[in-house]
């Protein structure tokens, strides 16, 4: 399988770090090597948030992804910051509710998903991030569907048990697009 | 032959290094007597300060630690939280407790650490040769206040018992003196109570002992005790500043 | 087998310490290590331990001093500016021969510096963790799993040699998540007949102390401690060698930086450059022998750090002029990229004969 070096980026509160964790956990469920590295500090308080996720058959060297082959962007500043770093042939998934721009690069595979709007319509508020992970799963098959379900089970705390079904719904929705 | 006087068991046979006329020796003895009378030497761990009493670890027969300057209450906290059934005390001077270690003191008190602090206030840094202490009186001449403590420059002395008595965590705070026999007896009772409080699990207890420093005050031992009475007691009145036992009684 | 879980470095450190029987934690909040304290605050009260948020870093290390004197496993955790405050206490712990664990999740400095990853406390950790003659054991993990494993070793060796041990991590390792398995081994704490925990009338009083007013006594005590350090240098220096056997260019890096270097070495190999890496796992004791050995076969060496050149001095001392030792570093919270390091390797390779 290919190595996945992903960047997920948006603003604080969108669940960027959580969607990264789900992705990493899905890799772990398949006995892959994984790493998850968040941005941290005061910028997290309502500012930009991003995380690097690596999934590989080999031990992960640098957990900091500088040249991603997957980018999920959930706001314009994040899109602007990372779009040029994506390697040719990479996959870019854009929340088109929040990012009006169209990608001018022709050497990357870009998918526009109005995830925030869809989440709102389908009663999946706060799960636009997971809809995008569903779309990523469909386009890249970065792991098996079952592994993502297991990952959601690991990542959603027992106190929020009721959110597990919602997360799965969001994955399914993303995959249907 | 009848034994009429004995050194407390909780003191070792080491010869004290204190200057002639210094009252540290009396205070050591009172602490040791309290430990003897409470029968807790085997489960007591003491913390020595940096200052004149730095070598107190050689003088007390219980297990002893030497702490960094001012840090004794933090060290005692670590000990007590690790050994809750042991009796932990610190023995600290004014520079140690009320200058470099103010934060440690205040926070141990406000946490209500179940420890006993013996605080020796002699208005001066003794070990380093007589510099201004946080408790040095206004106008008092020391090596670093050669023209007398100018409160405009150096600020005012700290009244430790008064300050700590404002904290909810403080269980017991009393100021005593060892300038004369009746006061020494009262000091003994206060120190013993401060240890008893800990054994009973009551919480933070501090006894401030007004002490003399003939060497650095430049007085004879007798003059020094008189200076203590004339100058220190008026600024640092003796008495109980906080006692939750009494508060409980008063509240019925 | 125990389950593999995805865990943040900081939390993994805390959980590992708990599994080592450490039930006393004294700390103070500081980014980027706060999760260590938060994890302890959550877990320790449930297992009969004590989490204490101290009034200052200074108090926290002195609480550790008290707990270590009592003979229990104790630890504190901080990041660079906080460690500076703790150095007083660390010196007293060294001078009193007390075991404990100190975690430094390094961030950029000097001063308030920044909060992003850095390795600029190498000198402080390995050369001057406090005033006076003395050292602490310093472990430099590069993965979350290694962070866990080294916590076990740190407690064990700290007690074996009666000295503080430090885990020298950085913001990247502290904040990142990786899969980790906690070793299922029985932890044996060492006997501590020296502990000041109340003599119970059964022995002479124990004194925990670092004061020696007679110079000859202090010199003797320090010499005894340094004799112990020699044994430690001999027995405990640890290193990982990666593709060094036939390497012409050897890169030396530790901690998070070694991960970047590994990627660069791999890439260099793909381009036909015989590169390898020596990764110190202990930075005190520094694995000087392994580094010197590498210098026998390589024609050039390169030290890469997230600092402006600290460990490189130890590398040069170990290499002792046999081959040139170049340096590449980023600082201020910037993590070097594999491409940058590869560029350096290529530059050096171009110069190699």
Which site among A21, A38, A61, A152 would you substitute to test the C interface, given the most C Cβ atoms closer than 10 Å to its Cβ? A61
Question: Is B66 within 8 Å of B91 (Cβ atoms)?
Answer: no
Predicted confidence (pLDDT) at residue A1 exceeds the cutoff of 60: no
DSSP conformation class of A111: E
Determine whether the interchain pair B83/C197 forms a contact, defined as Cβ–Cβ distance below 8 Å: yes
Contacts of C22 in chain B (CB under 8 A): none
Query: Secondary structure of chain C in the HEC alphabet?
Result: CCCCEEEEHHHHHHHHHHHCCCCEEEECCCCCCHHHHHHHHHHHHHHCCEEEECCCHHHHHHHHHHHHHCCCCEEEEECHHHHHHHHHHHHHHHHCCCCEEEEEEEECCCCCCCCCECCCCHHHHHCCCCCCCCCCEEECCCCHHHHHHHHHHHHHHHHHHCCEEEEEEEHHHHHCEEEECCCCCCCCCCCCCCCCCCCCCCCCCCEECCCCCCHHHHHHHHHHHHHHHHHHHHHHCCEEEECCCCCCEEEECCHHHHHHHHHHHHHHHHCCCCEEEEEECEEECCCHHHHHHHHHHCCEEEEEECCCCCHHHHHHHHHCCCCCEEEEECCCCCCCCHHHHHHHHHHHHHHCC
Q: Which of A48, A6, A51, A50 is nearest to A27 (CA)?
A: A6
A167: its two tokens: 């997360």
**How far is it, in rounded angstroms, from Cα A133 to Cα A139?**
10
The reported pLDDT for the residue numbered B252 is 55
Question: Is A171 within 8 Å of A19 (Cβ atoms)?
Answer: no
Contacts of C198 in chain B (CB under 8 A): 42-45, 62-63, 83, 86-87
Mean pLDDT is lowest, of A150-164, C45-59, C66-80, C313-327, for A150-164
Neighbours of C48 (CB within 10 A): 7
The reported pLDDT for the residue numbered A43 is 55
Determine whether the interchain pair C178/A64 forms a contact, defined as Cβ–Cβ distance below 8 Å: no
Distance from CA of A128 to the nearest CA of C (A): 23
The reported pLDDT for the residue numbered B1 is 83
Mean pLDDT is lowest, of B111-115, B247-251, C10-14, C168-172, for B247-251
Interface of C with A in 31-70 (CB under 8 A): 31-32
> Which residues sit opposite B145 in a β-bridge?
B142
Predicted confidence (pLDDT) at residue C294 exceeds the cutoff of 60: yes
State percent of chain C over pLDDT 90.
Answer: 96
Q: Between B and C, how many residue pairs show a Cβ–Cβ distance under 8 A? A: 136
The reported pLDDT for the residue numbered A13 is 86
Put simply, whether C178 touches A (Cβ < 8 Å) is: yes
Neighbours of A66 (CB within 10 A): 16
DSSP assignment of B191-219:
HHHHHHHHHTT--EEEEEEE---HHHHT-
Determine whether the interchain pair B103/C56 forms a contact, defined as Cβ–Cβ distance below 8 Å: yes
Q: Which of B206, B195, B165 is nearest to B43 (CA)?
A: B195
> Could you read off the pLDDT of A37-65 as tens digits, one per residue?
998 766 555 677 999 999 999 999 999 99
DSSP conformation class of A85: G
DSSP assignment of B3-45:
------TTB-SPPP-PPTT-THHHHHHHHHHHHHHHT-GGGEE
Residue A147 CA, distance from chain mean position: 15
Q: Which residues of chain B register pLDDT less than 50?
A: none
Beta strands at C177-180 and C5-8: parallel, antiparallel or unpaired: antiparallel
Torsion, CA A55, CA A59, CA A60, CA A62, rounded to 10: -160
Neighbours of C258 (CB within 10 A): 27
Contacts of C262 in chain A (CB under 8 A): 61
Output b/e per residue, B109-138; b: 16+ Cβ within 10 A: bbbbbbbbbbbbbbbbbbbeebbbbbbbbe
Put simply, whether C250 touches A (Cβ < 8 Å) is: no
**How far is it, in rounded angstroms, from Cα B193 to Cα A155?**
55
| φ, ψ for residue A171, nearest 5 deg | -60, -45
**How far is it, in rounded angstroms, from Cα C4 to Cα C36?**
20
Collapsed DSSP state (helix, strand, coil) of residue B65: strand
The reported pLDDT for the residue numbered A42 is 61
Cβ-proximal residues to C198 (8 Å cutoff; 6+ apart), any chain? B42, B43, B44, B45, B62, B63, B83, B86, B87
DSSP conformation class of B60: B
Determine whether the interchain pair A154/C6 forms a contact, defined as Cβ–Cβ distance below 8 Å: yes
B203: its two tokens: 């919480």
Determine whether the interchain pair B63/C199 forms a contact, defined as Cβ–Cβ distance below 8 Å: yes
Beta strands at B63-66 and B44-48: parallel, antiparallel or unpaired: parallel
The reported pLDDT for the residue numbered C353 is 44
Contacts of A40 in chain C (CB under 8 A): 31-32, 115, 171, 175
Collapsed DSSP state (helix, strand, coil) of residue B142: strand
**How far is it, in rounded angstroms, from Cα A105 to Cα A5?**
19
Largest CA distance in chain A: 44
Collapsed DSSP state (helix, strand, coil) of residue B222: helix
Torsion, CA A160, CA A163, CA A168, CA A169, rounded to 10: 180
Helices (H) and strands (E) in chain B, counts: 12, 9
pLDDT, mean over chain C: 96
pLDDT band at C252 (very low <50, low <70, confident <90, very high): very high
C324: its two tokens: 């040139």
* Structural domain spans, chain B: 24-251
Output b/e per residue, C174-183; b: 16+ Cβ within 10 A: bbbbbbbebe
For chains A and B, having 3+ Cβ pairs within 8 Å is answered: no
Domains and CATH numbers, chain C: 5-189+207-236 (3.40.50.970), 239-349 (3.40.50.920)
Of B63, B81, B107, the CB nearest to C197: B63
Peptide bond into C285 cis (omega under 30): yes
The residue whose two tokens read 């004197």 is C69
Q: Which helix (H) or strand (E) holds A16?
A: helix A16-29
Of C4, C6, C31, the CB nearest to A24: C6
Contacts of C116 in chain A (CB under 8 A): 41
Determine whether the interchain pair C175/A38 forms a contact, defined as Cβ–Cβ distance below 8 Å: yes
The reported pLDDT for the residue numbered A44 is 53
Of A36, A37, A62, the CB nearest to C260: A62
Domains and CATH numbers, chain A: 4-176 (3.40.920.10)
Neighbours of B196 (CB within 10 A): 18
> Could you read off the pLDDT of A67-122 as tens digits, one per residue?
999 999 999 999 999 999 999 999 999 999 999 999 999 999 999 999 999 999 99
Over range C217-240, report the average pLDDT. Answer: 98
Over range C145-171, report the average pLDDT. Answer: 98
Q: Could you tell me the end-to-end alpha-carbon distance of chain A, in angstroms, rounded to an integer?
A: 24
The reported pLDDT for the residue numbered B99 is 98
Neighbours of C78 (CB within 10 A): 26
B78: its two tokens: 């670590």
The reported pLDDT for the residue numbered B212 is 97
> Could you read off the pLDDT of C83-97 as tens digits, one per residue?
999 999 999 999 999
Contacts of B107 in chain C (CB under 8 A): 54-55, 59
> Could you read off the pLDDT of C131-157 as tens digits, one per residue?
999 999 999 999 999 999 999 999 999
Question: Is A74 within 8 Å of A10 (Cβ atoms)?
Answer: yes
The reported pLDDT for the residue numbered A159 is 86
For chains C and A, having 3+ Cβ pairs within 8 Å is answered: yes
Indicate the burial class of A81 (C-beta count within 10 angstroms; 0-12, 13-18, 19 or more).
middle
Distance from CA of C135 to the nearest CA of B (A): 18
Of A25, A37, A61, the CB nearest to C263: A61
The reported pLDDT for the residue numbered B225 is 98
Contacts of C60 in chain B (CB under 8 A): 74
Put simply, whether C52 touches B (Cβ < 8 Å) is: yes
The CATH homologous superfamily to which domain B24-251 belongs is: Thiamin diphosphate (ThDP)-binding fold, Pyr/PP domains (3.40.50.970)
Contacts of C4 in chain A (CB under 8 A): 28
């Amino acid at each position: 399988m290919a190595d996945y070096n992903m960047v997920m980026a948006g603003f604080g509160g969108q669940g960027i770090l959580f969607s990264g964790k789900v992705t990493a956990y899905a890799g772990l469920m398949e006995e892959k090597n994984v790493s998850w590295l968040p941005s941290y500090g005061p910028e997290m308080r309502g500012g930009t948030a991003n995380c690097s996720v690596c999934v590989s058959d080999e031990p992960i060297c640098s957990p900091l992804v500088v040249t991603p082959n997957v980018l999920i962007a959930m706001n314009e500043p994040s899109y602007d910051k990372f779009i040029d770093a994506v390697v040719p042939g990479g996959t870019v998934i854009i929340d088109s509710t929040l990012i009006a721009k169209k990608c001018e690069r022709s050497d990357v595979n870009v998918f526009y998903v109005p995830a925030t709007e869809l989440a709102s319509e389908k009663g999946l508020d706060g799960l636009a991030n997971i809809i995008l992970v569903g779309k990523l799963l469909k386009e890249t098959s970065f792991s098996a569907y079952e592994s993502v379900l297991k990952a959601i089970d690991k990542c959603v705390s027992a106190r929020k048990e009721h959110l597990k079904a919602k997360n799965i719904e969001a994955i399914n929705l993303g995959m249907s697009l | 032959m009848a034994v009429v006087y004995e050194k407390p068991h909780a003191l070792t046979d080491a010869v004290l290094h204190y200057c002639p006329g210094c009252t540290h020796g009396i205070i050591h003895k009172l602490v040791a007597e309290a430990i003897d009378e409470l029968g807790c030497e085997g489960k007591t761990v003491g913390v020595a300060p940096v200052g004149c009493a730095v070598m107190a670890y050689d003088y007390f027969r219980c297990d002893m630690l030497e702490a960094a300057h001012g840090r004794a209450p933090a060290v005692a906290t670590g000990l007590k939280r690790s050994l809750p059934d042991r009796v932990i005390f610190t023995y600290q001077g004014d520079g140690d407790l009320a200058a470099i270690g103010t934060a440690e003191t205040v926070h141990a008190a406000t946490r209500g650490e179940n420890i006993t602090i013996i605080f020796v206030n002699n208005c001066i840094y003794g070990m380093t040769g007589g510099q201004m202490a946080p408790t040095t009186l206004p106008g008092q001449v020391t090596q670093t206040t050669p023209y007398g403590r100018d409160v405009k420059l150096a600020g005012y002395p700290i009244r430790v018992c008064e300050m700590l008595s404002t904290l909810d965590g403080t269980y017991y705070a009393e100021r005593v003196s060892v300038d004369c026999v009746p006061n020494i007896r009262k000091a003994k009772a206060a120190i013993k109570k401060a240890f008893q409080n800990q054994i009973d699990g009551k919480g933070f207890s501090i006894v401030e002992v007004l002490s003399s420093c003939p060497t650095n005050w430049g007085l004879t031992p007798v003059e020094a005790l008189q200076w203590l009475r004339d100058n220190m007691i008026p600024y640092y009145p003796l008495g109980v500043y906080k006692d939750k036992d009494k508060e409980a009684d008063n509240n019925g | 087998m125990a389950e593999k879980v995805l865990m943040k470095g900081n939390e993994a450190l805390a959980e590992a310490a708990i599994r080592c029987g450490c039930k006393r934690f004294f700390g103070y909040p500081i980014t980027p290590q706060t999760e260590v304290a938060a994890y302890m605050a959550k877990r320790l009260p449930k297992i009969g331990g004590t989490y204490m948020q101290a009034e200052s870093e200074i108090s926290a290390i002195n609480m550790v001093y008290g707990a270590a004197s009592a003979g229990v496993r104790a630890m504190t955790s901080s990041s660079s500016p906080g460690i500076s405050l703790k150095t007083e206490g660390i010196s007293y712990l060294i001078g009193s021969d007390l075991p404990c664990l100190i975690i430094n999740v390094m961030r950029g400095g000097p001063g308030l510096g920044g909060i992003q990853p850095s390795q600029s406390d190498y000198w402080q950790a390995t050369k001057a963790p406090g005033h006076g003659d003395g050292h602490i054991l310093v472990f430099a993990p590069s993965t979350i799993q290694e962070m866990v494993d080294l916590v076990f070793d740190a407690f064990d060796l700290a007690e074996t040699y009666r000295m503080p041990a430090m885990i020298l991590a950085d913001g990247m390792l502290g904040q990142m998540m990786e899969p980790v398995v906690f070793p299922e081994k029985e932890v044996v704490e060492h006997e501590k007949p020296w502990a000041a925990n109340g003599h119970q009338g059964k022995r002479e009083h124990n004194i925990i102390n670092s004061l020696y007013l007679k110079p000859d006594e202090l010199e003797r005590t320090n010499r005894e401690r340094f004799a112990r350090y020699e044994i430690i240098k001999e027995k405990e220096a640890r290193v990982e060698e990666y593709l060094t056997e036939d390497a012409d260019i050897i890169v030396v890096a530790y901690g998070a930086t070694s991960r970047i270097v590994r990627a660069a070495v791999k890439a260099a190999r793909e381009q036909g450059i015989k590169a390898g890496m020596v990764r110190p796992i202990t930075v005190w004791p520094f694995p000087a022998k392994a580094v010197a050995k590498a210098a026998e076969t390589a024609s050039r060496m390169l030290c890469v750090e997230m600092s402006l050149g600290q460990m490189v001095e130890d590398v040069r001392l170990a290499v002792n002029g046999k081959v040139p030792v170049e340096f590449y570093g980023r600082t201020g919270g910037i993590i070097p990229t594999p491409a940058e390091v590869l560029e350096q390797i290529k530059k050096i390779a171009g110069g190699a004969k």
